[in-house]
């Protein structure tokens, strides 16, 4: 779980542009994601095969 928090912080700080989460890891990642205070700033896009690519948005989604 700590690695997911680190990934979210790296996205937020602009250290990385995007992170790809496998279908198998998604539920564990989501638990950390929804607890983040800036949850609505993260956008996930599903890819063929079940992986999800997350990016950080400057403006929160509605």
Residue 25's pLDDT is 98
- Place 62 in a pLDDT band, splitting at 50, 70 and 90: confident
Domain boundaries, the chain: 2-56
* C-alpha distances out from residue 61 to 1, 3, 8, 43, 44, Å: 24, 24, 16, 8, 11
Q: What is the pLDDT of residues 2-49, one digit of tens each?
A: 999 999 999 999 999 999 999 999 999 999 999 999 999 999 999 999
User: What is the DSSP secondary-structure string of 1-62?
Assistant: -HHHHHHHHHHHTTS-SEEEE-TTTHHHHHHHHHHSTTGGGEEEEE-TTS-EEEEE-SS---
């Amino acid at each position: 779980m700590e690695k997911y928090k680190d990934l979210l912080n790296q996205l937020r700080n602009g250290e990385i542009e995007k992170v790809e989460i496998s279908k198998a890891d998604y539920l564990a990642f989501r638990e950390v994601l929804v607890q983040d205070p800036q949850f609505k700033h993260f956008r996930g896009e599903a890819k063929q095969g079940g992986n999800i690519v997350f990016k950080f948005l400057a403006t929160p989604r509605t």
